[in-house]
Amino acid sequence: MRSTLRPGDIGYVTYLHGTLYAAECGWDHTFEAYVAGPLAEFAKSQKDRERIWIIEKGAEIVGSIAIVEASEYEAQLRWFLLHPSLRGQGIGRFLMEEAMRFCREKGYSRIFLLTEKSLLAAARLYRDYGFVLTEQKTHELWGSIITDQTYELDISDRENP
């Protein structure tokens, strides 16, 4: 695992999101654009209060998670994905712990994330960490009918789970 971006990382993380979610959820190429734009902006202007963790297996990127500053007190958890061959091994929990620890170190008091309802294992992990579903909306996006979900977590007085 590393927290520094290298040439090719933005494209590869975008590719991984695009290909895995196309296979698993049937989402089309517009999902890649949804990932690529904000990820490119993150890479161009990453702040001290932001971090991405890249998971590699050999020379191949197989996962990621990031914390992006939304405001002085609020962070957004983004680009959380693991290749299917690595799921169920505790790596996702490890990444969540790293992200939560980073948010506390940087003085955030609230974290939010956007996800999709069909991603059940991810939602279970978010709830395990105390995230609460606060909003959902069903609409057509990425060539499918999806249900966007927003989860939020107040970490101002919380200890690690």
Phi, psi angles (nearest 5°) of residue 56: -120, 150
Local confidence pLDDT in tens for the 161 residues of the chain: 999 999 999 999 999 999 999 999 999 999 999 999 999 999 999 899 999 999 999 889 999 999 999 999 999 999 999 999 999 899 999 999 999 999 999 999 999 999 999 999 999 999 999 999 999 999 999 999 999 999 999 998 655 44
Helix (H) or strand (E) holding 64: strand 60-69
| Alpha carbon of residue 22 to chain centroid | 17
CA 75-89-11 angle, to 5 degrees, is 55
Residue among 144, 131, 135, 151 nearest 21 (CA): 144
Question: Taking the complete model, does pTM exceed 0.85, yes or no?
Answer: yes
Domains of the chain: 9-154 (3.40.630.30)
